Structure 1
Amino acid sequence: MGMQSVAVACGALTLCLALTTATNPGFVVRITQAGLDYAQQQGIAILEKELAQLKLPNISGKSGELHYSLSRLHIPSFRLPHSQITPISNVGLQVSISNASVELNGDCWVKFLFIKGPGSFDLKVENISIKFILRLGSDTSGKPTISTSDCSARASKVGLHFSGKLAWFYNIFKKGNKSLLQKQLETMVCDNVAKSVHNELQTYIWTLPVTARIDDKIGINYTLVAPPRATTQSLDLDLKGEFYSLAHRSPVPFSPLPLAFPSDHERMVYFGASSYFFNTAGIAYHEAGALVFEITEAMIPKDVEFKLNTSVFSAFIPQLEEKYPNMPMKFRLSTPTAPFLTIGEGGISFQPIVDVQAYAILPNSSLAPLFLLSLTGNVSAVINVRSGRIVGSLDVGRIRLSLKDSAVGTFQVQFVQSIMNYLSSSVLLPRLNARLDEGFPLPLLDRIQLSNILVRFHQNFLLLGADVRFQPQG
């Protein structure tokens, strides 16, 4: 049983993973029974093909005066009509296959006293039951691990037919050969399950990076904070769920709160992204210096009759015309602290504080500081999932301004209100939303696609639900 078989049986499932000292996860993945059922349906056809490709070794031995050998063993079919994958609390996933059947043929040779010669045989084994446990865990680096235990394969109905000149002689020893081939096949199935899980499925689940690089400044930590937890209805994976700056990682000054995950089973998989997850993004981008934006006249839409220069602002700041007549201006926006958002049943909201430094661009291209404003406003977010990524957009209500410093005298900031409203909504917001539309990757295994997306807001976390589609190679 190769990678794809158990991988689909569990691979659509084990979506993300690793180890940390945090008590609570920042990100949770839940695989429901519907997800396990889909994995079983998709994986069984692959498993049939792979078991049919089992390479059985030649068998030889002797019993008293009887010497025998079986060679060129071939499996033309391996049928698995009934199977089930079930989460077992505090254990893992139990894979059960019943009423399976296999056909086996090959060449045989026997010597008994003065009788010897070749022949061929056909074996049909029915009512095969195969059962094993998939145990999921994590290593010291927070990567997922998987192993098997308690494997058993049993068959209750065996049909054996010999052909060739000595068929009459082989049939005398049919009963012994039946049990010999049956036992060999049962052992081979369990050995192959353990080998494939160790060599291939383990490799497959490592296609999920426990850290995801977003850009040249920011990454996401999706390591497991504890081994995956199986319940009677689902498989849960608790992840660190933390953004970090690639340049310098520093401890987050707060911890994740517990997530009251709902008992929802309509979708195959659910992702719980906590407010901790999103707020570490704000910290990481702030530490990386990525929350700094500049607004120049070149960024203003061409169809707008608005010039970003001192002449426009001199109507209510007279000193501008005296000191910097008709000079282009530039605004530099930065956050003195990382933005902090809240998530409730009404959605995601936050009130960022932004410093807005205005400059005059002198003829020699140097910058002359003019005034510093503090800007805040109510911001809400719309969240969705596209191509395995969390995407979003922001909407800003009317902003509020206060004057923090000025090199051109005091003035009434309400006169700047309409200009800043326009620059925020028409220049700054589209840039932010273009970045958010690129999205952030969800923790998904290779060749997993999501559909039928559900988005819900709960206290302290965002719940994303989806159905899963596995795309086989080739």
Structure 2
Amino acid sequence: MTSCLLSVLFVLPLVSSIMAAVEHAGCKIRITDKGLEMLKLETQKFVEEELSNISMPEMKGEEGRFQYTISDIKIRELNLTHVDLQFIPDIGLMFDVQNSSISLTFYRQILYWFFYDTGNINASADGVNINTALNLIRDDDGRLKINNITCEARINKMRAEFSGTLGRVYDFLASILTTGMRFLLNKKICPALDHAALVHVNGMLETIPVRTEVDSYIGIDYSLIDDPVVTSRSLDMHFRGMFFELANQNDSLVNYAVDPIIREYDRMVYLALSEFFFDSGMYSYYKAGLFQTDIVNDKMSKDLEMLLRTTYFGTIMMLNPAIVEAPISLQLAVNSPPKTTIKTSGATVVMTAIVKVILLPPGLSPVQLSSMTMETKFNAKFSMRGKRLAVHADLRRFKIFSNLSALESLALIPLQAPLKTMLQMSVVPLINKWTKRGVRIPLADGMDFIEEVVEYHNGFIVIGANLHFSKGLREMITGSNVTESDTNAI
């Protein structure tokens, strides 16, 4: 009994430390089997192009009185009729080709006794079967990567059509040549697909942003926190989904938010974002000092300026009547990171700021007339444009009160409506100008969201969409050699 108790006491701290180390994802992406169906067409075209570029060596040999040289072997046409692309649970993807055909041409040089014959030969490979499995992992940088590829290629039979004066004489030689060519093709197909996956496709995956700058103030971390989760119906990727301040990248927000859950499979792709995703962005901007502004001169409406002078006329006269006509300023500074709340009814952002009324007499030090607290709540609506997530904010609730006394708070009541109007006309459009540009989500260049639908859950949002390829897979891979420059964001 004592030994069992000691074992429990030893194991519990270990279990607790493991549980504490579990990291929730701020961003999740699911690609379903419906998305894989669209990707299959692009993959098939890409594979056909890769196999068409196979380089075949020259063949030489002797058979009885025959001496032959086969050169300039070219694949003329591929007919991949039965193609399938599907998920392999716990592994990755499988690309399967069954009962397809390949047409080739090559140049012959044949010496038989004293007869020398040359010419082109058409050949065809039938019963072409290719089975390729790609293992998907998270690499050391937190990037999606093809770790290895297993490939099996088999050609059941091959035919060659000889022409010329000695065509019939060569018939028995055809089986020798086609056997050799079938052996070469079998050996060439898998290395070509290995290179295409491990070099070309991995090169394209490296263009997807992992840890990159958003603007001159903040960056975003889209590194995977674990290996992709593959089932028979989907590929799920769990990203850190965290913004950070460029000037202090180690100062990051801890993720205590609800772990987003994707339950649907009806659309091609799903994007889930937790409250932490948005909170970390606002925390980073807050730490960078962006949530503060001065409203003075042309930025302030004449009506608001007159109301402020009227409200604080007595205070100014008591301080110094000579500065009563000095410019007046409102200084707004958010005093804590804004907080996002997502519920089934929608998303809101709560922001608290200190508002100071400052008189700016020329040649003299600024004079603070008042300090008040402003509490605001915004409605936030999310939308996708291509592969960029945009946010639109609407002011929902506004309240100000004095930091000095309840009596002054009563005196500020006439300022409530004008300050709210000022916020709606000056600050909210500025916020929406930032967020309208959007922040890029981790999709490859050339792949975009269309027909998206946003669903709100408690603690996270889920955006379901279909995929649109603005580029072919070959063009996407070719473009992967160009440095990704699309890093503008909110």
TM-score, length of structure 1 as denominator length: 0.87
Does residue 320 of structure 1 match 2:319?
A: no
- How many residue pairs get aligned? The number is 449
Cα-to-partner distance string for 1:266-320 (whole Å, 9 max, x where unaligned) = 321111111111111121111111111222241246xxx51525x6443465212
Distance in 2, matches of 1:198 and 1:394, equals 43
Kept after mapping to 2: 8 A contact 1:146/1:198: yes
- Following superposition, the deviation at residue 262 of structure 1 comes to 3.3
Distance in 1, matches of 2:364 and 2:128, equals 82
Does residue 434 of structure 1 match 2:433?
A: yes
Match of 1:180 in 2: 180
Match of 2:373 in 1: 374
Kept after mapping to 1: 8 A contact 2:50/2:192: no
Does 286-295 or 138-147 show the bigger shift? 138-147
Aligned-residue Cα RMSD (Å) equals 2.5
Does 206-215 or 166-175 show the bigger shift? 166-175
Does residue 275 of structure 1 match 2:270?
A: no
Which amino acid in 2 is paired with 1:318? G
- Following superposition, the deviation at residue 114 of structure 1 comes to 7.0
Which amino acid in 2 is paired with 1:216? S
Kept after mapping to 2: 8 A contact 1:256/1:274: no
Kept after mapping to 2: 8 A contact 1:314/1:321: no
Which amino acid in 1 is paired with 2:328? M
Match of 1:170 in 2: 170
Which amino acid in 2 is paired with 1:244? F
Structure 1 segment 38-187 matched on structure 2, within 5 A = 38-61=38-61, 67-110=67-110, 117-187=117-187
- Following superposition, the deviation at residue 143 of structure 1 comes to 2.4
Does 396-405 or 207-216 show the bigger shift? 396-405
* Structure 1 counterpart SS, 2:70: strand
| Structure with more of its chain in helix, by fraction | 2
Kept after mapping to 1: 8 A contact 2:50/2:196: no
| Structure 1 unaligned blocks of 5 or more | 1-20
Match of 1:295 in 2: 295
Match of 1:224 in 2: 224
Kept after mapping to 2: 8 A contact 1:297/1:307: no
Q: 1:369 to 1:193 in 2, by over 3 A?
A: same
Kept after mapping to 2: 8 A contact 1:210/1:223: yes
Kept after mapping to 2: 8 A contact 1:121/1:162: yes
Q: 1:169 to 1:330 in 2, by over 3 A?
A: same
Structure 1 segment 338-353 matched on structure 2, within 5 A = 338-353=337-352
Q: 1:65 to 1:139 in 2, by over 3 A?
A: farther
- Following superposition, the deviation at residue 331 of structure 1 comes to 1.3
Match of 1:285 in 2: 285
Q: 1:365 to 1:386 in 2, by over 3 A?
A: farther
Q: 1:240 to 1:71 in 2, by over 3 A?
A: same
| Structure 2 unaligned blocks of 5 or more | 1-20, 480-490
2:305 alignment partner, one of 301, 304, 308: 308
Distance in 2, matches of 1:292 and 1:22, equals 36
- Following superposition, the deviation at residue 367 of structure 1 comes to 2.5
- Following superposition, the deviation at residue 50 of structure 1 comes to 3.7
Match of 2:400 in 1: 401
What percentage of aligned pairs have identical amino acids?
23
Which amino acid in 2 is paired with 1:180? G
Distance in 2, matches of 1:445 and 1:355, equals 42
Which amino acid in 2 is paired with 1:437? K
Cα-to-partner distance string for 1:28-59 (whole Å, 9 max, x where unaligned) = 01101111000112332343344223222212
Distance in 1, matches of 2:204 and 2:330, equals 49
Determine which structure has greater relative contact order: mean sequence separation of CA pairs < 8 Å that are 6+ residues apart, divided by chain length. Answer: 1
Match of 2:265 in 1: 265
Kept after mapping to 2: 8 A contact 1:119/1:166: no
Distance in 1, matches of 2:426 and 2:310, equals 22
- Following superposition, the deviation at residue 147 of structure 1 comes to 4.2
Kept after mapping to 2: 8 A contact 1:317/1:411: no
Q: 1:153 to 1:365 in 2, by over 3 A?
A: farther
Kept after mapping to 2: 8 A contact 1:32/1:265: yes
* Structure 2 counterpart SS, 1:397: strand
Match of 2:418 in 1: 419
Kept after mapping to 2: 8 A contact 1:295/1:428: no
Structure 1 segment 188-267 matched on structure 2, within 5 A = 188-257=188-257, 259-267=259-267
Cα-to-partner distance string for 1:337-369 (whole Å, 9 max, x where unaligned) = 111212121111132211112211212375222
- Following superposition, the deviation at residue 453 of structure 1 comes to 1.3
TM-score, length of structure 2 as denominator length: 0.85
Does 372-381 or 54-63 show the bigger shift? 54-63
Distance in 2, matches of 1:112 and 1:196, equals 42
Distance in 2, matches of 1:453 and 1:377, equals 30
- Following superposition, the deviation at residue 322 of structure 1 comes to 3.9
Which amino acid in 1 is paired with 2:182? Q
Kept after mapping to 1: 8 A contact 2:391/2:432: yes
* Structure 2 counterpart SS, 1:399: strand
